[in-house]
Structure 1
């Protein structure tokens, strides 16, 4: 019979196993997506692959957050983990926006034949 009042450690174990299955499903999804992008005849497949790689990085960071939150000992610890995650994501977003802006400028200059 299932335990009615599971311990915190049992819940952590169950959440960790679930997170592992989600990570595996996510990896399979991105593998299929990359194969699809790789076979695309569109000239933007390179940019699409770059966006896909950034999505993978962001999803992996979210899974890492989940693992850290599972191990949090109290609310204060969870808030600290969440705050660090938010700061890291803001830095990553800034970097991604900068890189994507540079890529867009290069693509535009190539399209119009000007050097920027």
Structure 2
């Protein structure tokens, strides 16, 4: 082909307009994708902060329960050492078991509320 033949070839205006419109649509779609991805990342960061706060509350409460339960067990063991007879040991044991059952039921209930609250905060829509 001659240079003259190349100069005569032109992209039709309709095709050029269609290509430009497609490019603009692709650019807008990409910009929308990036904007949505950034908003989602921000939302995930907020949710992570909420989840971390809930997990911290749960772990600190669990630690406090463990500490109290160990202290109660040590107090029970000390009272057994000081017991005068088998009847007193049986009474101390019965009181300890009853108090531990109540404490564990209360702790389980409270932990359930804490976990539920943390879960609700984690999925609560952010405004």
Which of structures 1 and 2 has the larger relative contact order (alpha carbons within 8 angstroms, sep 6+)? 2
Higher-helix-fraction structure: 2
CA distance, structure 2, for counterparts of residue 110 and residue 87 of structure 1: 35
Give the conservation status (yes or no) of the 8 Å contact 2:76–2:92: yes
- Name the TM-score, length of structure 1 as normaliser: 0.59
1:90 aligns with 2:101: yes
Name which one, 1 or 2, has greater alpha-carbon Rg: 2
| CA deviation profile, 1:44-89 (whole Å, cap 9, x unmatched) | 2232111111000000000000110001111111010000000000
Q: Which runs of 5+ in 1 are unaligned?
A: 1-41
Structure 1: which 4+ aligned runs deviate by more than 4 Å?
Answer: none
Tell me the C-alpha RMSD between the 2 structures.
1.5
Q: Show the counterpart of 2:13.
A: none
Aligned to 1:55: 66
| Alignment deviations for residues 2-53 of structure 1 (CA, whole Å, 9 cap, x no partner) | xxxxxxxxxxxxxxxxxxxxxxxxxxxxxxxxxxxxxxxx922232111111
Q: How many residues align?
A: 73
Please give the TM-score of this superposition, normalised by the length of structure 2: 0.54
Aligned to 2:84: 73
